[in-house]
Structure 1
Amino acid sequence: MTSAQPNNLPLWVQDRDTVIEYSQHAQWRYQESPDYNRSKENLAKESTRNHVEGTLEAIVQNLVRTFEMEVSFKSNPQQWLSVVNDQFRISTNGGKEYTAADLSAQGTYNLFMADSEHYKASEENFESSAKLFHSTFPQGFPWEVLEVYSGPPVVTFKWRHWGHFRGQYKDFAPTGETIEIIGMTIANVTDDLKIISLEHYFDNNLFIEKLTAGGKLADSNNSGDSETKSGGCPFGSWFKGLKKS
């Protein structure tokens, strides 16, 4: 896969594993570089798109996956190759803008999902939120580009996040269903394709609705099946996060 990357493309829009290999001296959040082998297996089986290397769609997908990897695993944002660190800003649904330092300290979940009944961003930190959602989606939460509507310097694209809800979410029972979230992003990039800003648009309330649809574990144990079937599938769109591939 890596050898198929066009040689003239910047490192950060090449295959994510190529970036990891280059980043041998990075400060890794968990003391070692990430292993995406399982993620690649899931992508190969479950992706709805197969973008040809070198196309705009593949380049955008590689850039965002590299960005997600760096946010999740490189603890020093000054070492992120995918962004213009001193200019970088990120926002959700027209809300507050955050810096790379904010993102590194608090994590994507806590910046994208404000306080609500079933998720208290103000009470979570990077590690606790990552642990929660990794256990909720034990097989991962892959991400892919669906369509790209405009090219650099303002890249507008539609994407898909999905995962199998097989681990409990807080005290809510897993439903086993595949949760799929669709979103839109506007990315401002430099001439060499580093990210200056990201504006994400999606309905993150629907994500929480899906995670609580199975009912609380105590209720499901006591009542058999009524609580676990509540809500059906009022699904719609998205997730936050840059999440988790």
Structure 2
Amino acid sequence: MSAPETATPTIPDYAGDPNAVLNDTNAVWRHGGPPNYSNTRKNWEIAASFKSFLTDWRTVDPNKYTFVMNGGEPQSAEHMLRSNFYSPLNNDFESSHKTFKRMMPTFAWEVLEVYSGPPKVAFKWRHWGVMKNDYVGYNDKKQKVRVKAHGGPIDIQGVTVATVNGALKVEKLETWFDPLSMFKQVSKDNEVFIDEDSA
């Protein structure tokens, strides 16, 4: 008697194909169509940054998805930090994305080490780029803040635990990193200009 055949688990296209979500023709894209990710590709970030509705994110379970930063309260939308440079209350998603994309045209992301596999995937990551243009944003006092571009690198690192379901869709992201590390690197020469008339 032969041994019973076991089905080989299938991997979703977004877990194996870096272009998977760029081919979603029925999604509502923020800028009318998919972005150009020829330099760096990460399906979760493409969906988070460019798809208008959570229901179009194929890499997450929209009914369970939460994001937790540094042990804080679970957030259902992108959790942004508050600082003297930036306030989520005074910068909407569109302006925030444009601010950081303008400052660093390429902000690459890579996984450095993987500590465990599904359903809880723990890994160390790195996000880096070059500050080619000035940072311009609004702080928690509604003041317009400008930091001159220094042309140097910006490099932040952290650890994330992603809880995924059987289809490898993210149900929960727990991330730990120093949220001020990027701004310390942005203003490394402490040259921060505030438009006093903007308050």
Q: TM-score category by the smaller chain?
A: 0.7 to 0.9
Equivalent position of 1:198 in the other structure: 173
Structure with greater strand percent: 2
Distance, in Å, in 2 between the alignment partners of 1:17 and 1:198 is 22
Equivalent position of 1:112 in the other structure: 80
Equivalent of residue 183 in structure 2, options 194, 200, 208: 208
Residue 142 of structure 1 and its aligned partner are, at CA, apart by: 0.7
Describe the shift of the 1:24–1:121 C-alpha distance in structure 2 as closer, same or farther (beyond 3 A): same
Equivalent position of 1:8 in the other structure: 10
Structure 2 residue ranges without an equivalent (≥5):
1-8, 137-145, 195-199
Partners of 1:169 and 1:212 within 8 A in 2: no
Q: How does 1:116-155 map to 2 (within 5 A)?
A: 116-138=83-105, 140-155=106-121
Residue 197 of structure 1 and its aligned partner are, at CA, apart by: 0.2
Provide the secondary structure at the position in 2 that maps to 1:160: strand
Partners of 2:20 and 2:43 within 8 A in 1: no
Describe the shift of the 1:78–1:209 C-alpha distance in structure 2 as closer, same or farther (beyond 3 A): same
Distance, in Å, in 2 between the alignment partners of 1:217 and 1:96 is 30
Task: Give the TM-score of the pair, scaled to structure 2.
Answer: 0.83
Partners of 2:14 and 2:59 within 8 A in 1: yes
Equivalent position of 1:71 in the other structure: 48
Equivalent position of 1:87 in the other structure: 64
Equivalent position of 1:230 in the other structure: none
Provide the secondary structure at the position in 2 that maps to 1:122: coil
Structure 1 residue ranges without an equivalent (≥5):
1-6, 41-61, 220-245
Distance, in Å, in 1 between the alignment partners of 2:10 and 2:62 is 23
Task: Give the TM-score of the pair, scaled to structure 1.
Answer: 0.68
Provide the secondary structure at the position in 1 that maps to 2:135: coil
Provide the secondary structure at the position in 2 that maps to 1:123: coil
Partners of 1:12 and 1:66 within 8 A in 2: yes
Distance, in Å, in 1 between the alignment partners of 2:147 and 2:62 is 38
Letter in 2 for 1:30: H
Distance, in Å, in 2 between the alignment partners of 1:119 and 1:129 is 9
* Structure index of larger Rg: 2
Letter in 2 for 1:173: K
Partners of 2:30 and 2:51 within 8 A in 1: yes
Distance, in Å, in 1 between the alignment partners of 2:35 and 2:67 is 24
Distance, in Å, in 2 between the alignment partners of 1:35 and 1:84 is 25
Letter in 1 for 2:18: R
Q: How does 1:20-59 map to 2 (within 5 A)?
A: 20-21=22-23, 23-37=24-38, 39-40=39-40
Instruction: Flag as ranges the 4+ runs of structure 1 deviating above 6 A.
Output: none
Indicate whether 1:158 and 2:133 are aligned: no
**Across the two proteins, how many residue pairs are aligned to each other?**
177
Partners of 2:21 and 2:47 within 8 A in 1: no
Residue 192 of structure 1 and its aligned partner are, at CA, apart by: 1.8
Structure with greater helix percent: 1
Partners of 2:126 and 2:157 within 8 A in 1: yes
Distance, in Å, in 2 between the alignment partners of 1:218 and 1:76 is 36
Q: How does 1:168-187 map to 2 (within 5 A)?
A: 168-170=134-136, 171-187=146-162
Describe the shift of the 1:147–1:123 C-alpha distance in structure 2 as closer, same or farther (beyond 3 A): same
